[in-house]
Amino acid sequence: MKKIHANSLLFKVVGTVIIGIVILAVLLSVVNITISKKVFVDNFAESQQKIFSQIDSEFYDFYRDMTDIMSAISGNENMETYLTKVQKDETAVMENRYLLNEQLKNSKITDYNEISVFILGQDGKSYLCSKSDIFASEKDEIWNSRVAEAARANMNKIICKYEPSGFTNVMKSEPVVMMAKAWSYSNTGYADAIAFITIKESDIRRMYSHFTSRTSDIVLLNQDNEVISSDNREFFESGNTVYQELDEVVAAMTGQEEDRKEIKKSGSIRTYLMQKLQSTNYKIVGIINPDEAFKEHYNVNNLVLLTLLISAAVVCLLIYFLRQQAKPLGVLVKAMKNSKDNDFKGHVPVEGTYEVREVSETYNRMVDELDKYITQLIRVQEDKRTAEIHALQMQINPHYMYNTLASIKWLIWQGDAGKSTKVIDAFISLLRNVISNSDEFVTVGQEIENLNNYVLINQARYGDAIKVEFFVMPQCNHYKVPKLILQPFVENAFFHAFPEGRTGRIQVFVKETGGNLKFDITDNGVGIRTEQLMALHKKENRKSEHFTGIGIGNVDDRIKLIYGLDYGINIFSEEEKGTTITLVVPKREN
């Protein structure tokens, strides 16, 4: 079994895992808080149920008294006489009202100073039982109000509605809860009278306001599941999402056994509790925000802050520890990143953990081997390029030399001594630059001069059917370029672009483009077939053996070898429209 070194990376990773376990303990504490929160919410919900029972008892007493008042009014004979019968004189009317007042004083009405009782007959007669209020609304408007219509639709039943304002001066400017009952004295099915009991919604709210908090709300619903009272005014606004959510929850819980429902909206969870109030068809709904309630009773911020401080301390220690251990590895990585700039000559210090030291030693040995290999490779490439230049210089085609000399002889025989001399001088200059000059690079001016000589010899041999034009920017003449990079393309144009008997034009353009030199060799010859052009792009059949054996592929390979893969040649051609060869090399003066 392989021994684990005390300074090994594995040993220290184990130590790191131990630290991670400590952090895990902190995370488990967070989980514990989450569980505590769940327990808290359950307990909070149970306490709300007890609160509901207290509210239920208090509201039941109120509802029972209101029911007794309604019964006392609707079953009162004096009330029937007052509302439906025509009195003989004013004395009878006053006597009737006196008896009615005395009877109502003995009812529960006197126990509630905050309520207003109003009875309205079908023929417009009315009775207001209020100590300080004076009725100010139109009676027809009251008889046709929303509350009255609901009462007439539910004869002999007490209905309850929330209204933005009441029928009296005191209650006309604030929300009220209105209870109404319609009945008939003649059993015709049509209401003869309607009794209205009005109480401020704020008075209803006082029955349960001491049970509400910032994190919980209470809503009272009537027989139609309409909101009649709440400590949160948003539940009265039918257009908002809170109202719609309550409506959906109540609809879902009505008629089901469940009395609790959790709804998640907008990233927070609200718990709804619903209970039917005893002996009524009214409901009480409690809405709890568990997150806010938990934060209010538990100092979560301090707990989170403490956890963060502990975690930060552990993380700092962990970062310091790992940084110290990874420092030698960082030195090794930096050395590997800079190895190209250092030409693989830089060694890294052998230090750190057992594994890092082994990698460092291996890296140093690898760098020595790579440096040795690259040095040998560079030497081989330099020798290859030198040998290539010498080979190019020796590759003058004997057949080409024979034809050139034959052409000179023919010119002399014709007696054209001037042209013969020019051709001989051009041939001598061409041989000197190709064979005698061993330099790998020549100036653009020298390269163009060689092309001029080559064109002059060819025109002496084949005539002037093919015109050659040179367009060279003067500032380009002194830049250095590899020898014989243009001649192969002019040669190809001479012998392939213009079949025998066809005239044409070859143009050579040289210009600067940024930091580069751009050469364009253009002809208006027969062009290149598509399949042949594709073969040229794939470096297939790119050799041309007319003058020096320097082919298209040879020139492209030389340019990429000297300057890199970003440089080289591009070929553009269409059949019967001509060909353009583009060469791009960087500007160099030395």
Instruction: Indicate if the pLDDT at residue 347 is higher than 50.
Output: yes
From residue 235, how far is each of 48, 229, 240, 490 by CA, in Å?
19, 9, 8, 91
Per-chain mean pLDDT for the chain: 77
What's the pLDDT score for residue 36? 66
Q: Is 482's pLDDT higher than 50? A: yes
User: Encoding tokens for residue 590?
Assistant: 């030395």
Tell me, yes or no, whether 319 lies in a domain. no
Length of the chain: 590
Q: Is 80 exceeded by the pLDDT of residue 336?
A: no
Per-residue pLDDT tens for 488-530? Answer: 888 888 888 888 778 899 999 999 998 999 999 999 988 888 8
The DSSP letter of residue 234 is G
Q: Which residues contact 211 (CB under 8 A, 6 or more apart)?
A: 51, 54, 55, 218
User: What's the pLDDT score for residue 436?
Assistant: 62
Q: pLDDT band for position 2 (50/70/90)?
A: very low
Edge-first strand listing for the sheet containing 466-472: 466-472, 504-513, 516-523, 578-586, 568-574
CB 423 within 8 A of CB 409: no
Q: What is the predicted pLDDT for the residue at 273?
A: 81
Task: Tell me, yes or no, whether 309 lies in a domain.
Answer: no
Which of 338, 354, 386 is at the close of a domain?
386
Same domain, 238 and 262: yes
Pick the range with the lowest mean pLDDT from 24-28, 109-113, 459-463: 24-28
Domain assignment present for residue 564? The answer is yes
**Whether residue 222 is found in the same domain as residue 77:** yes
Residue 99 is predicted with a pLDDT of: 78
Flag whether the pTM goes above 0.85: no
Spatial CA neighbour of 271 closest among 256, 259, 284, 255: 259
| The predicted structure's pLDDT at residue 24 | 67
Taking CA atoms, 462 is separated from 156, 356, 498, 501, in Å, by 127, 73, 12, 10
Q: Do residues 65 and 34 lie in contact, with contact meaning Cβ atoms separated by under 8 Å?
A: no
Residue with tokens 């291996």: 362
Do 366 and 405 belong together in one domain?
Answer: no
Residue 566 lies in a domain: yes
Interval 412-426 mean pLDDT: 77
Residue 413 has pLDDT above 80, yes or no: no
Q: In this structure, are 115 and 216 located in the same domain?
A: yes
* pLDDT band at residue 248 under the 50/70/90 scheme: confident
Question: In which region does residue 44 sit, left (phi positive, over 0), alpha (psi from -120 to 50) or beta (all else)?
Answer: alpha
Q: Is the pLDDT of residue 576 over 90?
A: no
- Give residue 393's pLDDT band: very low, low, confident or very high (50, 70, 90): very low
Average the pLDDT over each of 48-62, 152-166, 256-270, 422-436 and give the range with the smallest value: 256-270
Residues 87 and 152 placed together within one structural domain of the fold: yes
Q: Report the pLDDT value the prediction gives residue 239, as an integer from 0 to 100.
A: 66
User: Over 50: is that where the pLDDT of 135 sits?
Assistant: yes
pLDDT for 392 equals: 53
What is the Cα–Cα distance from 125 to 185, expressed in whole angstroms? 15
pLDDT at 418 over 90: no
480: domain CATH number? 3.30.565.10
pLDDT top residue among 67 and 382 = 67
Residue 585 is predicted with a pLDDT of 94
> pLDDT tens across 114-130, in order?
888 888 888 888 888 76
11 or 355, greater pLDDT: 355
Residue 440 lies in a domain: yes
DSSP category for residue 210:
G
- Position 303 scores a pLDDT of 64
Please indicate, yes or no, whether residues 363 and 444 belong to a single structural domain of this protein.
no
Residues 232, 378: one domain? Answer: no
pLDDT score recorded for residue 70: 87
The total number of structural domains in the chain stands at: 3
Which tokens is 511 given?
């210009």
Q: Which residue has the higher pLDDT, 436 or 353?
A: 353
Q: Which residues contact 145 (CB under 8 A, 6 or more apart)?
A: none
Average pLDDT over residues 346-353: 72
Q: Which residue has the higher pLDDT, 36 or 82?
A: 82
pLDDT, position 174: 85
- Residue 6 is assigned to a structural domain of this protein: no
Task: Grade residue 479 by pLDDT with cuts at 50, 70 and 90.
Answer: very high
pLDDT at 518: 95
Which amino acid appears at position 235 of this protein?
F
Residue 156 within a domain? yes
The answer to whether the CB of 430 falls within 8 A of the CB of 460 is no
Q: How confident is the model at residue 540, as a pLDDT?
A: 55
| C-alpha–C-alpha distance, residues 440 and 480, integer Å | 10
For every residue of 465-505, which 3-state class applies, written as one string?
CEEEEEEECHHHCCCEEECCCCHHHHHHHHHHHCCCCCCEE
Q: What pLDDT is attached to residue 511?
A: 94
Please report the pLDDT score of residue 295 as a whole number: 67
Question: 365: exposed, middle or buried (C-beta count within 10 Å: 0-12, 13-18, 19+)?
Answer: exposed
Question: What is the tens place of the pLDDT at every residue in 192-230?
Answer: 899 998 888 888 888 887 777 777 788 888 888 888 888
Residues 125, 73 within the same domain: yes
- Residue predicted with more confidence, 261 or 358: 358
pLDDT at position 372 is 81
Q: Which pLDDT score is estimated for 549?
A: 46
The domain boundary residue, chosen from 295, 315, 339: 295
Say whether both 337 and 256 belong to one domain: no
CA gap 239, 237 in Å, rounded? 6
In degrees and rounded to multiples of 5, residue 111 shows phi and psi of -80, -10
If asked whether residues 200 and 341 sit together in one domain, one would say no
Same domain, 334 and 185: no
Pick from 24-38, 194-208, 408-422, 558-572: least confident: 24-38
308 belongs to a structural domain:
no
Q: 508: domain range?
A: 396-586
Last residue of a domain, one of 361, 386, 411: 386
CB count, 10 Å around CB of 100?
A: 21
Domain check: are 380 and 413 in the same one? Answer: no
Confidence at residue 550, expressed as pLDDT on a 0 to 100 scale: 57
